[in-house]
Amino acid sequence: MPPYRRSARFVCALALIEPGREPVVVTAHVNGYLLEVESGAGGFGYDPLFFYPPSGCSFAALSEKEKNAVSHRRRAAEALLSALRSRV
């Protein structure tokens, strides 16, 4: 099956709920596609099967620093911090 038929997305959703305040909910994602054969020795879960086109390799083949630079979790955490900083 061609890669475009195996599209995949890692998604992270974060929510902060405080009494008396509006909830803050953010999401972030990273697009890629699923490999047919595992690649790379790092990461966990689906990382060996998740090919990230901008890097030219799977998440499991990236160093921890490289993966964290593009991580859906990092992006969501940054979005949450930004939303909290803009609250009055």
Q: What is the DSSP letter of 63?
A: -
pTM to 2 decimals?
0.85
What's the pLDDT tens digit per position in 28-81?
999 999 999 999 988 888 999 999 999 999 999 999 999 999 999 999 999 999
Domain ranges of the chain: 3-85
What secondary structure, in 3-state letters, does 4-23 show? HHHEEEEEEEEEECCCCCCC
The topology under which CATH files domain 3-85 is Maf protein (3.90.950)
